[in-house]
Structures are given as structure tokens and as C-alpha cells.
Structure 1
Amino acid sequence: MFFPELIKSIKPSDRVLEIGPGGNPHPRADILLEYEFDSPDMAEAQRGYVYPLKTDKKIIYYKGDRFPFKNKEFDYIICSHVIEHINNVDEFVREINRVGKAGYLEYPTIYYDYIYNFPEHLTFVKYKNGKLFWMNKSQTSISSFQPVHHLFYETLRQEYFGLINDLKFCFFEGFEWSGNLDSVKTSNLNDLVFNILDIPPKPLSGSRISIIKTRFRNLLNKILNI
């Protein structure tokens, strides 16, 4: 999860479900829901090759499209970096709406998969105008660029995270919802990008500040010596 600070609406008395917690469940989650994959290798790939889940919290495994819970059983649902793995987002969102009253959703944007194109990611997702737009990656020609994506994908495996840390504000998106979460399947890429992307100036690191100060002193010395 890249934006835990966006989770603001959980009340002390709320019953909280986390879907697909990976190796690090949210501390406020009461119940964890995990999909039962066909093999350990598939499970490892789907959780992003992070360490296996170890927790004292209750874990429930399920198969198929329906969650094993009653209607509106949870006050809040956390679902972080799961929905991009889902082939039919409408069905998944219907189940979230059925068992939950509110929640938090986080996922990579199309910009992230345009560079890294994780094979486990099946869907592009974007929240816009109060709706969750989605498109299957198979609807696009992105797979034809796999030889290019391979380089960037391998940089992540070697822990080159600088680009992600610098651009997480456009590589990932998270938001809280309440009531019903609306999803819309789209064939228009414009629904999956930011309308306005406000890119803030990159913060100066210590080395960059030192270089700027040195250049300023050199310039000042030249002016004073004229």
C-alpha cells in the first residue's frame, strides 16, 4: 500500500475486512480474505513475490467469484493492489458492494503498467467522476511491447525502485468510498488517464542543493571580480 494515510474513515467499532493483504495486512483489519490459488508458485506471483503472509488474524480462503460472507457483513473493506489482478471488475465490485458498506481501494494506474506491464495484472483501472473505469489489458496492443517491458520489469526484480518512489503520485491511485462503488467497463483510453496531471517540482536532494550552492558561489565570485 502506497497511501495508507488516505484511510481516514474507520471507526473504532467497525468490522473491517481486507481483501488480498499480501504479506503485510493492515493493522486495523479484523478478517483477511485470500483467494485459493492452484499452486504455491501462482500464489507467490499474484502477491508480487513478497514474503508469505504470517499473521494471527483470521484468514478465509475462497474460490470462484462470490465472497463467503453475508450481505453487508463488514463496515469497511480494504482492497489494495488486488483489483488489477481481476478479469471481471464489475463482478468483483458487486461482491464488494454486497458485503461492505464503505472502504478503501488502491491500485496501479495505466502509466505504471505501460512501463512495467506485470503479466499478473489483467486490468487497467481509473477512478474518475465518481466511477471506477476499467479495461482488460487484452483489449489493447500492450502485449506487443513485452520485449521492451522486460527490461523495466527486471529492474524491479533487482530493486531499482527510484522511478517508482519519484512518480508514485501518478503510478498509483487510492480513494475511500461509501455506499455503493460504481464500476464501468470502457473501451476508451481517455477514461483511464488523468484529465489534468499536476506534476510537482522534484524536491532537491542534498547533493543537488550542494551543486546549486557551488554554482551560485562561483557565479557570485565572477561578478565580484569583474
Structure 2
Amino acid sequence: MKTRTPLDRNDLQIQKKDKVIEIGSGHNPSFRANVIVEKYIYDNTQRCDKAKIYPHQTFINADGENLPFKDKEFDYAICCQVLEHVEHPDIFIAEQCRIAKRGYIETPSMIGEFLFPKKSHKWVILDIDQKLVLFEKSQMPGNYQKDYGELFLNYLSYQSLPYKLLGLTEGEMMLNRYEWKDNVDIMVNPQEEYYRSFFLSKWTREMTEKIFPPRNLKTELLRTSTALMHILKQKINQKFKKSASPIDLEEYLKRKG
């Protein structure tokens, strides 16, 4: 079940003693993960750069739909920007729930996919009623050819404080951020008109408020101040906490030789 919507992947409820796995970490692995799983070592088609890994991490070459681990072997599973690529999302998610007690899933939202689409993305995803609802992108109406990722991913996210605050206070605008425990409620290509309408029809005010619930002034101020403090904390950590840098996975495998 869904437990919360974190501010971002640096706001996860991972305990100090937790054994953590990351599935499909790509070029941006989480430093907190103990084990990294990647299906593709040399093929960068579905990621932005070469796969990377931190020296302290253990690497496993495996398919996320068939993970070589025991039931509940891990306390926490991280999976960012992967679910939208996979062939069988129900199997992929079931495997994470099998091997881990808790976890975090991050994907582009429907709006995010529209603004910075990727050809390798098979699914458009929304968080509706605490469910991750996946709809096959090939069935979606609209223009998914124009990619504004340079603006929204590579420019504003680094240059604009108001944009950063927007991303943190309106959690589902560009991303689905889904922290879970025990299981993940997932729907793939739903047949119910209620869920299909979010992907195929113009949003009404009722639909908009379902994804972005109205908030009172107190909640709005609290969210904004929390987001601002989160950004400041990250900036301070970047300045004063020096951590190791990830290395190319190819180099890591050569060292392990």
C-alpha cells in the first residue's frame, strides 16, 4: 500500500540499518543503496548516459522481472524512472514487493511525459486513488514528439528557485512519487471508464482536484516552507558533505576483474 508522497528521492524513509537495493539505477545511482541491479551493462538506449555505480556497492546483472534474491531479503527497494520502460509492469512490481519490505517508485507523470517524452517509454502513468495506473502510450491521444526536456529538466530545475518549489509542493505535476509498504496497488491498461478518462479525455475540475487536491492556506504555507527548507538542506549538504563520486560501471567491473 502507498504510505506517503516524498518530496523527492532524497526524502525517503530509509533507516540506518536497512539493507537497500536499487533496481535500474542507470547513470544516477542512489548512494544509499547497498546493491545495484542493472539489466543492461553496455546498452545506453534507455538511459541518458553510461551506467554508474559507487565503489562501495555490489552490482548484480539481472532482469527486474526475475530478480535473483530471496523473499524479503531487503528492507527497502528504490526504483526511479524505470517502470515506464518495462514490458510487464505487473510482474516487475510484484518482484520488488517479493524481495523488499518497503520501497519507493518514481516515474514521469502524464504531464511530465507530455513535456519531455522519451521513445523508450512504453507507459504513461498516473497516481489515482493511491494506485499507480499505467496506460499504454501508443493508445494515448496528443503530440508526444515535441520534447521540452531541455527547459524543464536541464534548465529550470537548476536555475529557478520558484520552479524547484513548484516541483516539491505540487508533488504529482511532473513526477509520480510513490513510497510503499508490503505491496503496490497497480493497474495496467484499465478498462473502467473512470480511470481511462484521465488518459483519454479532457480533464474536468473534479478530475483535476482528484490528482491535485485543494489545500487551505495553512497547508499551503506549511508545504512551501517545508519545500524551501528541503532545498536549503540539500544545498548545505552539497557544500559541506563531501561524498564519493560514482564511476562508470564498465570501470567498476574491470577493477573487480
Taking structure 1 as the reference length, the TM-score comes to 0.71
Q: Tell me what 2:68 maps to.
A: 68
Which stretch shifts more, 132-141 or 90-99?
Answer: 132-141
- CA RMSD across the alignment: 3.2
Gap change, CA 1:64 and 1:130, over 3 Å in 2:
closer
Q: Tell me what 1:35 maps to.
A: 39
C-alpha separation in 2, matches of 1:191 and 1:164: 31
> C-alpha offsets along residues 86-139 of structure 1, whole Å, 9 cap, x if unaligned?
232111111111111111111110101112211121111222223211111122
C-alpha separation in 1, matches of 2:79 and 2:159: 20
Is 2:177 the partner of 1:174? yes
C-alpha separation in 1, matches of 2:90 and 2:12: 23
Gap change, CA 1:20 and 1:189, over 3 Å in 2:
farther
Gap change, CA 1:20 and 1:90, over 3 Å in 2:
same
- The higher radius of gyration belongs to 1
> C-alpha offsets along residues 41-70 of structure 1, whole Å, 9 cap, x if unaligned?
xx3232223x54042111101147311111
Residues 22, 79 of structure 2: 8 Å contact kept: yes
Alpha-carbon shift at residue 189 of structure 1 (Å): 4.2
Q: Tell me what 2:227 maps to.
A: none
Q: Which amino acid in the other structure matches residue 177 of structure 1?
A: W
C-alpha separation in 2, matches of 1:180 and 1:164: 37
Taking structure 2 as the reference length, the TM-score comes to 0.63
Alpha-carbon shift at residue 7 of structure 1 (Å): 0.2
Q: Which amino acid in the other structure matches residue 7 of structure 1?
A: L
Q: Tell me what 2:15 maps to.
A: 11
Q: Tell me what 1:216 maps to.
A: none
Is 2:112 the partner of 1:112? yes
Residues 123, 137 of structure 1: 8 Å contact kept: yes
Is 2:82 the partner of 1:101? no
C-alpha separation in 1, matches of 2:23 and 2:117: 23
Q: Which amino acid in the other structure matches residue 33 of structure 1?
A: V
Gap change, CA 1:162 and 1:4, over 3 Å in 2:
closer
Residues 67, 95 of structure 2: 8 Å contact kept: yes
Gap change, CA 1:5 and 1:58, over 3 Å in 2:
closer
Q: Which amino acid in the other structure matches residue 179 of structure 2?
A: E
C-alpha separation in 2, matches of 1:196 and 1:131: 11
Q: Tell me what 1:221 maps to.
A: none
Q: Secondary structure at the match of 2:118?
A: coil
> C-alpha offsets along residues 124-173 of structure 1, whole Å, 9 cap, x if unaligned?
1222223211111122234x652xx15x356679x444599625341012
Gap change, CA 1:184 and 1:196, over 3 Å in 2:
closer
C-alpha separation in 2, matches of 1:30 and 1:153: 31
C-alpha separation in 2, matches of 1:19 and 1:190: 28
Alpha-carbon shift at residue 4 of structure 1 (Å): 2.5
C-alpha separation in 1, matches of 2:159 and 2:138: 24
